[in-house]
Amino acid sequence: MNLNKEKANPSQKILLTAFECLSTRGYANVSMRDIAGASGVALSQLTYYFKNKEGLFTEVINMMIHQYLLEIEDNLQAAADAKEKIESLIRFFKELIRNRPKLLRLFIDFTAQALWVPSFREQVDSLFNKLTKIIEKNILADMELGKKLRNCSAKSVAKLILGALYGTSIQIMLGSDQDSVFESLNLAESILN
Amino acid sequence: MNLNKEKANPSQKILLTAFECLSTRGYANVSMRDIAGASGVALSQLTYYFKNKEGLFTEVINMMIHQYLLEIEDNLQAAADAKEKIESLIRFFKELIRNRPKLLRLFIDFTAQALWVPSFREQVDSLFNKLTKIIEKNILADMELGKKLRNCSAKSVAKLILGALYGTSIQIMLGSDQDSVFESLNLAESILN
DNA sequence: ATGTTGGTCGGACGTACGTCTTAATTTTAT
DNA sequence: ATAAAATTAAGACGTACGTCCGACCAACAT
């Protein structure tokens, strides 16, 4: 976070601190008091701005989704052809794992919470759909894989790609031997070409 | 669970009830008292047998891993050739999603907890490794995909397959439109052949 | 019969939680 | 300058939590 936490308005400050806490220790292990304390704000401020813990987490996730979805789409549209786009997508995931593991952890945690909290679930579903559409539009539109498998809908292909990237990333985050899974991502890239 | 909960010894009874509660409402949303009440046992019995909530969840997961790892391996070894084995593996995941979603939910939840609880993390890592080995040994040993990609280690291929199946399953569990993701699993099958 | 052991039970302990209320303070609009 | 609104602060409320303790009770060995 290179945003200046001090100068931001309080709700931004809370959001950024909340991201830090949640992505470091997990939704279940962070209390509203922790976040209030860490952002130097009264507990009731959190309620005032975000109603409750669920609302706060929702906004943290929204902030992240907004930021990184744009980033992905920019990267993809900057790439010239399908091959470069795939490379860019895989690079994004690698970079996520290596340099922004907190973000990935936050998202994995969020995904699991979504199993039990309806509003989270809608959010996750919407994100998955957006990602699928991005992959579909940018990568599958004009490549031979699309033709090769045109008996399947492009949506299914995109979902499989997304699933593979996500599932592989989870293994990396949780596994002890990270190298072989990074290899898996490279492999995914070469399969797609 | 077709095991007879009534006749089982108390620790088994607790385990089965715990599975039911945890897989229905999630680790964070189930209390020790809930489980004790549902299994008709005093709260302190849970502590007596499993020390604490973490220990109880660990044993629930162990029970499931033991049961379904055997099942997967049996299925795979019963299949004649690589093609059948792949079919069997995909069928297992489909069946998991369709008929035993509780188990899958439990596992996804567990995976997320593993981000923050070291003992869970070891358990997940070990499970992922076992699954990878199973895929590696049964599917990749003698098929042309193995040769086609022999510049990558078999382990990486197996991890990619596992990641794809797991990531796709998560999308199904959380998504509204399940059909297109089932299609993705079919697609995974045809890619592997 | 008696003592011992492993299992069972209800309940209490201290803590932490999310939420809510109420009041003080600052900002904004008139 | 004053009224209204928005923001901040502090604290209490009730609840739920995981853990722990001491009393029972059954079975069994002595």
Contact A168, A191 (CB under 8 A): no
Say what percent of chain A tops pLDDT 70: 89
* Whether residue B66 has pLDDT greater than 70: yes
pLDDT at B8 over 70: no
Q: Please tell me the distance from the alpha carbon of residue B121 to that of residue B126, in angstroms, as a whole number.
A: 8
Question: What is d(CA B68, CA B93) in angstroms, rounded to the nearest whole number?
Answer: 11
How far is residue A40 from each of residues A5, A10, A36, measured CA to CA in Å? 11, 10, 6
For residues A154-171, average pLDDT: 93
Enter the DSSP assignment of B41.
Answer: S
Residue ranges of chain A that CATH labels 1.10.10.60 = 1-50
pLDDT level of residue B145 (50, 70, 90 thresholds): low
The CATH fold of domain A62-192: Tetracycline Repressor; domain 2 (1.10.357)
Query: Where is A29: in which H helix or E strand?
Result: none
Position A4 scores a pLDDT of 43
B145–chain A nearest CA distance, Å: 11
pLDDT for the residue A9: 81
Closest C-alpha to A192, from A124, A120, A93: A93
d(CA A127, CA A131): 6
Does residue A36 have a pLDDT over 50? yes
Give strand C nucleotides closer than 7 A to any protein Cβ: 7-12, 16-22
The confidence score (pLDDT) of residue B142 equals 63
Predicted TM-score of the model (pTM): 0.91
Tell me the nearest-neighbour CA distance from A167 into chain B, angstroms: 4
How do residues B148-169 score in pLDDT, each as one tens digit? 555 667 888 899 999 999 999 9
- CATH class of the domain defined by B1-50: mainly alpha
Cβ–Cβ under 8 Å, residues B167 and B97: no
pLDDT at B1 over 50: no
Q: Which of A4-8, A126-130, B35-39 has the lowest mean pLDDT?
A: A4-8
Quickly count: other Cβ atoms within 10 Å of residue B3's Cβ. Answer: 11
Q: Tell me what pLDDT residue A35 has.
A: 94
Query: For residues B179 and A153, is the Cβ–Cβ distance under 8 A?
Result: no
Residue B184 is predicted with a pLDDT of 87
- In whole angstroms, what is the distance from residue B86 CA to residue A93 CA? 27
pLDDT digits (tens, 9 = 90+) for B18-53: 999 999 999 999 999 999 999 999 999 999 999 999
The Cα–Cα gap between B36 and B17 comes to 9
Considering chain A, tell me which residue range(s) the CATH 1.10.357.10 domain(s) occupy. Answer: 62-192
Residues whose beta carbon sits under 7 Å from strand D: A 10, 41-45, 48; B 31-34, 43-44, 46-47, 51-54
Q: What CATH number was assigned to the domain covering residues B61-192?
A: 1.10.357.10
Residue whose token pair is 């509204």: B176
- Identify the pLDDT of residue A139: 78
Q: Which residue of B has its CA nearest to A148?
A: B191
Confidence of residue B4 (pLDDT cuts 50, 70, 90): very low
Question: Which nt has its C1' nearest the CA of A42?
Answer: D9
* Portion of chain B with pLDDT greater than 90, in percent: 67
pLDDT tens, position by position, B88-98? 999 999 999 99
Nearest chain B Cα distance for residue A7, angstroms: 31
Comparing CB atoms, the residue among B105, B128, B188 nearest residue A160 is: B188
Choice between A146 and B52, residue whose per-residue pLDDT is larger? B52
User: pLDDT class for A144, splitting at 50, 70, 90?
Assistant: low
Of the segments B101-115, B144-158, B176-190, which one has the largest average pLDDT value? B101-115
Band (A179; pLDDT cuts 50, 70, 90): confident
Does A95 have pLDDT greater than 70? yes
Cβ neighbours of residue A142 closer than 8 Å, sequence gap 6 or more: A82
Is B37 exposed, middle or buried, given 0-12, 13-18 or 19+ CB atoms closer than 10 A?
middle
